[in-house]
């Protein structure tokens, strides 16, 4: 097998599918005035409010170079507040505003709407997710 072709590599389908799935999120998230990475940050904060930039970065595998401007945009939309941590002035605490918390209800239907758009059964979705998570853990715990 000639591996030096597009379709014979794992990475291209991964790269292309990731972008296609994000594209399917886009019209749904547009209604919330969120980009996909912004949505991921909001998901994290809805789960656990009041996290530092690096704590968010650890979960999303993003650094401050990406997160700082992104968080400033969420702040401009008044979805989060950014305040220096009193106990450790190096850290910046990200907290949901009332508007940010309220957005959660509007976002509640996004996952099922997406699954419909992707035409995935629960089984397919869970199976694929588990495989991806396994490989992801393999790569990040090195």
Q: Which residues bind DNA (CB under 7 A)?
A: 15, 19, 22-23, 26, 35-38, 52-55, 57, 61-71, 73, 82, 85, 87-92
Binding of its own copies by 55 (CB under 8 A):
no
- The Cα–Cα gap between 125 and 142 comes to 26
Closer to its own copies by Cβ: residue 102 or 133: 133
Sole residue written with tokens 């397919």: 124
CA–CA distance, 41 with 37 (Å, rounded to integer): 6
**CA-CA distance, 58 to 42, in Å (whole number)?**
15
For residues 142 and 87, give the distance between their C-alpha atoms in angstroms, rounded to a whole number.
Answer: 31
Residue 12 sits in the site that holds its own copies (CB under 8 A): yes
Residues of the shown chain interacting with its own copies in the complex, contacts defined by CB under 8 A: 3-22, 24-25, 36, 40, 43-44, 46-47, 59-61, 104, 107-108, 110-112, 114-115, 118-120, 125, 128-129, 131-133, 135-136, 138-140
């Amino acid at each position: 097998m000639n591996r030096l072709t597009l379709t014979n590599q794992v990475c291209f389908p991964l790269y292309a599918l990731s972008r296609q799935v994000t594209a399917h999120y886009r019209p749904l998230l547009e209604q919330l005035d969120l980009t996909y990475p912004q949505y991921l940050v909001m998901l994290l904060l809805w789960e656990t409010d009041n996290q530092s930039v690096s704590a968010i970065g650890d979960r999303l595998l993003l650094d401050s170079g990406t997160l700082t401007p992104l968080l400033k945009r969420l702040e401009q939309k008044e979805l989060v507040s950014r305040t220096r941590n009193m106990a450790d002035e190096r850290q910046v605490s990200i907290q949901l505003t009332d508007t940010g918390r309220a957005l959660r209800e509007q976002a509640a239907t996004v996952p099922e709407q997406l699954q419909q758009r992707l035409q995935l059964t629960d089984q397919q979705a869970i199976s694929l997710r588990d495989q991806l998570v396994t490989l992801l853990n393999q790569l990040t715990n090195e």
